[in-house]
């Protein structure tokens, strides 16, 4: 599962290479709405990929809440914060 406006290069990689080569499905979800995130989480979800802030729309996610949910369910959480300022 990944955030719905993940960086275009990441989205293209998932769509063109990762999925066809591995057969592993992934969903794009608006994770600014925690209920949508929870509803999209499947029993077989193994990894959640987020960006915060996202690229290009700069959505900010509740990483702590998402991380706790992933941990409870044994899923790996990957956070890309390329857009975050070094000051923060």
Closest CA to 11 of 64, 80, 69, 76: 80
Of 72 and 58, which is predicted with more confidence?
72
- Rounded CA-CA distance 26/37 in Å is 13
pLDDT of residue 55: 85
Confidence of residue 87 (pLDDT cuts 50, 70, 90): low
* Model confidence, pTM: 0.87
CB 64 within 8 A of CB 52: no
> Please, what are the domains in the chain?
2-80 (3.40.640.10)
* Mean pLDDT of the residues in the chain: 92
């Amino acid at each position: 599962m990944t955030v719905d406006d993940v960086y275009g290069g990441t989205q293209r990689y998932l769509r063109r290479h990762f999925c066809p080569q591995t057969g592993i499905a992934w969903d794009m979800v608006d994770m600014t709405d925690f209920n949508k995130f929870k509803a999209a989480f499947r029993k077989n979800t193994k990894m959640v990929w987020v960006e915060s802030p996202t690229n290009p729309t700069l959505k900010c996610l509740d990483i702590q809440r998402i991380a706790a949910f992933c941990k409870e369910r044994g899923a790996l959480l990957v956070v890309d914060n390329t857009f975050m300022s070094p000051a923060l």
